[in-house]
Structure 1
Amino acid sequence: MIDPAAASRHGSRVSVFITGTDTGVGKTRVTTLLLEALRHDRRDAVGYKPVSSGDREDAALLLASSGLPEDQLDAINPVFYQTAVAPYVAGMLENNPLDPAALIRGYRDLAARHELVLVEGAGGWEVPLAPGYAISDLAVDLALPVILVAANKLGVLNHLVLTVNAIKARGLTCAGIVLNELEDELDTAKITNKGVLEDLTGVPLLAHIIHGQDFLDLEDFPIFG
């Protein structure tokens, strides 16, 4: 692995790693809304999608929210696989195994040129990227505080507790949770999850995004100062 101390000298003081309890929980939505809020506050913030599989739609959204031209897509998303599977599997199928060092270099290049880098992971916390190397290892190598995104639904409390414990076990700080509503309808589980997740995880709820919400308030994210 890359030396975490070396990575921390390249912008990790204010940058963050955004992960999820699973795929499709709203990581890109949260990342783009944070980028838009930060840039509205005149902060020099950019998104970073180290690896994507299947398409580059998420990376393109981060690029647009970062205010960067289209020719910077490879800087925002240095590793792209055509196959919509975990990067580790895609690398095998496409005979192009992922090099973790390339992901670190991409982050450092952006961090050297911008105040904040919002790194969006792929899928959940333990998605495999290469043999013996997962999303969690990338977060450790970048030495960044983690924001955890979860879709509000039955079962999310279990997923939150497991993921927060896993983040802490790697010696990283989970700076907070963003609970995301994927649909309009509410049930008892969705209504009550918000009230108990802090007690169960020991991590603050930073924001609860209702369905269709198109903004985030930076005052809810003290990590950005």
Structure 2
Amino acid sequence: MRGLFITATDTDIGKTMITGAIAAAMKARGIHVGVFKPLASGAIRNEAGFLLAEDATFLMKAAGIGEELRQEVNAVALEPALTPAVAAKISNVCIDIPKILTDLKQAMKKYEFVLVEGVGGLISPLWEDYLLADMMKELNFPALLVSKPRLGAINHTVLSYSYAMQHKIRLDGVVINRFEASRAGVLEESNIHYIEKITNLPVVGRFPLLKQANSLNVEDLAGLAELTLNIDKIIAIGESYNE
């Protein structure tokens, strides 16, 4: 099995879009890809009263995974749009991290390649005394860090990288999301230059800003991923996973 963990420098950076784009590209290449969003907040209740995480819905669509596997893809969906530890307390939900990890590891075995998307950034609290970084360390997948093209990207990216290195967490590449190539100038290019120089991590993609992302079909998403992400390099990173 091969796999990647996708995290970001902050919330609302676009982890789900990047994870979905990679999944769509792999699926188009004939790779049996699994997608997982173990915990999600900001879920919406459907007409039947069930909480559905839109991020999980997007990932399932991108990977061609049916609704019957939603619980496997997204073990915990929380309604408050807050970090999981806080959202769970407000909702009177107990997050059983060991069970989530056990079930996740079992479910992953059926796929040729797996993509696991985090929530927020590396230091997002998932439960009492348990951060996203702890989950990343336990799974020990190669990881991609999604960053932004804006002012502050160097600082946020390097701080995330430094925390990961300090705590012996794998980071293997960076993806710049919402990159507007037609408007890119000194700021955007210097961000990439210094991120690569300081962290020694490759920037493996410059994914564009999509104003109507939800209307994009899976085939177009896969094509866009092939154009803007180094899918060959991303797959190679995932192949370095050692169980």
What TM-score comes out, normalization by structure 2 length? 0.82
**Identical amino acids, percent of aligned pairs:** 28
User: Partner of 2:147 in structure 1?
Assistant: 150
Equivalent AA in structure 2 for residue 170 of structure 1: H
Equivalent AA in structure 1 for residue 17 of structure 2: R
Equivalent AA in structure 2 for residue 34 of structure 1: I
Give the unaligned 5+ runs of structure 2: 44-52, 211-220
User: Partner of 1:16 in structure 2?
Assistant: 4
Correspondences of 1:119-158 after superposition (within 5 Å): 119-158=116-155
User: Partner of 2:57 in structure 1?
Assistant: 60
User: Partner of 1:8 in structure 2?
Assistant: none
Equivalent AA in structure 1 for residue 206 of structure 2: H
Q: Deviations over 1:117-137 (max 9, x none)?
A: 100000111000111001000
Q: Deviations over 1:34-63 (max 9, x none)?
A: 111111121111110000011211100111
| Cα displacement (A) at 1:106 | 3.1
Q: Deviations over 1:192-211 (max 9, x none)?
A: 21222110111111111132
Specify which of 173, 181, 196 is matched with residue 198 of structure 1: 196
Determine if contact 1:88/1:97 at 8 Å carries over to the other structure: no
User: Aligned Cα RMSD in Å?
Assistant: 1.7
Determine if contact 2:39/2:74 at 8 Å carries over to the other structure: yes
| Cα displacement (A) at 1:76 | 0.4
Equivalent AA in structure 2 for residue 26 of structure 1: G
User: Equivalents in 2 of 1:161, 1:131: separation in Å?
Assistant: 26
Q: Deviations over 1:141-171 (max 9, x none)?
A: 1111111001111001001111111112222
User: Partner of 1:169 in structure 2?
Assistant: 166
User: Partner of 1:218 in structure 2?
Assistant: 231
**SS, match of residue 40 in structure 2:** strand
**Larger CA deviation: 75-84 vs 206-215:** 206-215
User: Equivalents in 1 of 2:105, 2:23: separation in Å?
Assistant: 18
User: Equivalents in 1 of 2:69, 2:152: separation in Å?
Assistant: 38
User: Partner of 1:3 in structure 2?
Assistant: none
Specify which of 79, 87, 90 is matched with residue 90 of structure 1: 87
**Larger CA deviation: 198-207 vs 120-129:** 198-207
User: Equivalents in 2 of 1:19, 1:121: separation in Å?
Assistant: 5
What TM-score comes out, normalization by structure 1 length? 0.88
Runs of 4+ in 1 over 6 A off after TM superposition: none
Q: Deviations over 1:76-112 (max 9, x none)?
A: 0010111111100011111112111132023212212
Equivalent AA in structure 2 for residue 76 of structure 1: V
